[in-house]
Structure 1
Amino acid sequence: MAAAEQGQGQGPTGGGGGFFGMLSFRRSATAVASFDPAQDDELLALDGLQSHVADRLAALLIHAQAAQGPVLSLGFLSKLLDAVSSSSDACFRDILSLAPVAAALSRPPADRLAADLLDRAVKTLDVLNSASLTLASLRGAHRAALAAASCLLLHPAAPCNSRAQFARARRAIARIIAADDNSSSSSSNNNKSQSQRGGGNSTMRALSLSVSRNWSAGRSMNAMAAHLAPPPPMHQMHQAAAGAGCGLGLALYTMSSVLVFAMWALVAAVPCQDRASAAISPPVAPPKQAQWAGSMAALQDRIADEWKRRDKSRYHGSSSSSAMTPTGAGGLLAEMQAVERAARDLNSLLEEIAEEDDAEETQRCEVVRERAEELAAACRALEEGLAPLERQLRAVFHRVVAFRADLVRSIDNSARTNAATAPTQYHSF
């Protein structure tokens, strides 16, 4: 009730305030007029989701601002996926557990927003599956990069005059380029071949049965972002419908926004199947009144700027380095970019040495070893972080499956409850 009393005097901000002003207004009205503990619980649960999302996104923004390089690192993705799973597991389920709130799921405007959230949850599963399979398919390229570095570091005290070693390293680096060129299709091909072979390995790598050859990360993201808008302001709705769904509508919109933003960031970081058609512009335009709007907008702008710079450098790079296209078809994951840079630098040095005589080649021995050590360190950092990320992708996948099942059950229960209730008995909060 103390929280409710703090809301006194904070009336609706006008027509533009919409649902966001409605929450603080209802808290004040409840404290002064009704003293209804049930409504207090509902308001606290609804506000709890907004506060939780705002806190998680604020922490992500601090992480991004502290980053010296690309914002999309393994640590950032781990925090982002945790925000998705924690919101769907705890805060939103707290809302669904409240019978009066859940009863509004099958009434306008919440029914349409709930259906959209169910659809976005399915598309979220597709993106998670594609990202997991892509990471698995790129492991061979990372091992090749480590092999390229290792063959130059086997005998650090020996004279560095073996052109055979250099040729072997260049062949290994070439595998990284091939994996990059084929990354858009390798995930589905990899999954298909694993399913045909059977065994436990395919179960560990595939989150669901397969990724269709025709599936597109870009089209899926564009569909998820389409029609994503806050619930209409209360003055544009019938009074009864507004009372039935205003707070729940905001909760549904918030969950959709979190899913769309998180999957857009994941597609930007990891080279999912047909990622190129994904929109670079931020997919969510949250209203300024939302607690989490500022943090999400800042994060989206930061990622979009890096995406644009990445694509610009890819298509306007120097001709001498055109063979080394960005690892993962422009993936922004910081650790992947570190492997790419180290591999490109080593490859360029080896190409220069291949055109020199033996005396000049021997003089570059120390430089070759330094570049090889940089590549080996980048590969180890990536390998150490990939396994936990893949486990987290699987965990979030199963949590979203369970969350969607709970939402479907709640909608069905709401429809049955409303069918047995007089149409005029709407719940108001």
Structure 2
Amino acid sequence: MHTPDYQGSHVGRSILSLRRDQAAADAAAMDPHHRDAASAAQELELELEAFQRQVADRLLDLSSASADDLLSLAWVRKLLDAFLCCQEEFGVILLNNNRANVARSPAAERLLAEFHERSVKALDVCNAVRDGIEQIRQWHKLLEIVMCALGNRRSLGEGQFRRAKKALIDLAIAMLDEKDSSTAIGHRNRSFGRSNASRDPRSIGHFRSLSWSVSRSWSAAKQILAIGNNLNAPRGNEIAATNGLAVPIFTMGMVLLFVMWALVAAIPCQDRGLQVHFSVPRQFVWAAPIISLHDRIMEESKKRERKNACGLMREIYQIEKYSRVMSEMVDSVNFPLTEEKEGEVRQRVQELGQVFEVVNEGLDPLERQVREVFHRIVRSRTDGGSCSST
């Protein structure tokens, strides 16, 4: 992740210095209209600074995760929660409080339109991630068979081991197929917005061409690159021309890019790839945590045991690890079972049961959050489309 010295703008309290200087001059003129304008300018500046701080706080919280927590299912859910909170505040600033300012500024309208185009591209990522969650759910069902076969309190017999062995083989094949596959499964045609396709043209159905399905040729890696294409920090003239609104638009664009990139890193998606260029000026208060998170996730992806993973989410690694150990143990079992061997089996089942429970409790809430991200992006896009007509 590259963090170049950036001379085009100053971020933080100095980022709107041009506007603040103008506001002070207006106030000094003692004209009531100018005083009102100065007050509005100062209020907007505080609002924009608060948004930057909120984004920084959310990312700092995510970056404070321990090595064991990073990329866990719980961490991914926290990531999506952070995105939803930032998106909500962004909507308040851009679409509620400053709708008229956007409409009066061609530069702001252009930047907001570019942001919405990035958001539309993120809808496909949401659908692909939903497919990945469904894949994990299938693995979870195979784990359940193993748990039912070997997790009961009765004595363990050959029939139970045969059933567990078949489920473990099916699981290994399913996970291997997901690793090797770079094309979509033929039936990937679900969408969070499908039932709404017949509504108003500005409804979810409007995005049908991009988000109704994930085609066989679709690439998560290419989609992430498309979201980040030409995402550059605003220069001083853009900040001045937009009354500072260029800053939150860029900030939310970076948050969108990072969240989609992290989702693709964590969850199985076709043609996954993590090589995307993040250009984050160090002057942004949220730059350090987003750089730290990017670097830590990249380091995780380069570990020998994770290099060819179908997803970096910690529970995926644990499913693969514990099921492999369990499979090796099942293959080595002789009957009748010794007391020592039965104790080892039950210990392995307990280890597998821990990750089973985490996935069992967290997968459905994760899918609901991805669904909410999808719908929130659509609502933001349709609401934002009317800015120019205000």
* TM-score, scaled to structure 1: 0.75
1:208 positional shift:
5.3
Q: Which residue of 2 aligns with 1:140?
A: 138
Judging changes above 3 Å, is the alpha-carbon distance between structure 1 residues 24 and 106 closer, same or farther for their aligned structure 2 residues? closer
Q: Which residue of 1 aligns with 2:56?
A: 54
Find out whether 1:172 has 2:167 as its counterpart: yes
Report the 3-state secondary structure (helix = DSSP H, G, I; strand = E; otherwise coil) of the residue aligned with 2:11: helix
The 5-angstrom pairing of residues 121-200 of structure 1 reads 121-154=119-152, 156-158=153-155, 160=156, 162-183=157-178, 184=181, 188-192=185-189
Deviation per CA, 1:269-296: give whole Å up to 9, x if none: 1011221xx1346x42210110111111
The one-letter code sitting in structure 2 at the alignment partner of 1:413 is: S
The one-letter code sitting in structure 2 at the alignment partner of 1:172 is: A
1:26 positional shift:
3.7
Counting helix residues as a fraction of each chain, which structure ranks higher?
Answer: 1
Contact 1:129–1:211 (CA<8 Å) still a contact in 2? yes
The one-letter code sitting in structure 2 at the alignment partner of 1:339 is: I
Aligned-residue identity in percent: 33
**Count of residue correspondences:** 358
1:393 positional shift:
0.9
Q: Which residue of 2 aligns with 1:407?
A: 384
Contact 1:19–1:250 (CA<8 Å) still a contact in 2? no
Q: In 2, distance between residues paired with 1:25 and 1:242?
A: 10
Contact 2:8–2:234 (CA<8 Å) still a contact in 1? no
1:112 positional shift:
4.5
Q: In 2, distance between residues paired with 1:106 and 1:151?
A: 65
Find out whether 1:249 has 2:246 as its counterpart: yes
Report the 3-state secondary structure (helix = DSSP H, G, I; strand = E; otherwise coil) of the residue aligned with 1:378: helix
Report the 3-state secondary structure (helix = DSSP H, G, I; strand = E; otherwise coil) of the residue aligned with 1:313: coil
Q: Which residue of 2 aligns with 1:81?
A: 80
The two structures, once aligned, show a CA RMSD in angstroms of 3.0
Q: Which residue of 2 aligns with 1:352?
A: 332
Q: In 2, distance between residues paired with 1:178 and 1:70?
A: 27
The one-letter code sitting in structure 2 at the alignment partner of 1:29 is: D
Q: In 2, distance between residues paired with 1:208 and 1:15?
A: 36
* TM-score, scaled to structure 2: 0.82
Q: In 2, distance between residues paired with 1:126 and 1:61?
A: 26
Q: In 1, distance between residues paired with 2:243 and 2:338?
A: 72
Find out whether 1:368 has 2:362 as its counterpart: no
Find out whether 1:388 has 2:387 as its counterpart: no
Question: Which of 262, 277, 280 pairs up with 1:286?
Answer: 280
Judging changes above 3 Å, is the alpha-carbon distance between structure 1 residues 285 and 100 closer, same or farther for their aligned structure 2 residues? same
Q: Which runs of 5+ in 2 are unaligned?
A: 28-37, 196-207
Q: Which residue of 1 aligns with 2:34?
A: none
1:344 positional shift:
1.3
Q: Which residue of 2 aligns with 1:322?
A: none
Q: Which residue of 1 aligns with 2:229?
A: 226
Q: In 2, distance between residues paired with 1:358 and 1:99?
A: 74
Deviation per CA, 1:24-71: give whole Å up to 9, x if none: 524642563334122122212322321221111111122x2xx24251
Q: Which runs of 5+ in 1 are unaligned?
A: 1-13, 200-205, 316-324, 415-429
Q: Which residue of 1 aligns with 2:43?
A: 41
Judging changes above 3 Å, is the alpha-carbon distance between structure 1 residues 185 and 175 closer, same or farther for their aligned structure 2 residues? farther
Q: In 1, distance between residues paired with 2:20 and 2:234?
A: 21
Contact 1:188–1:210 (CA<8 Å) still a contact in 2? no
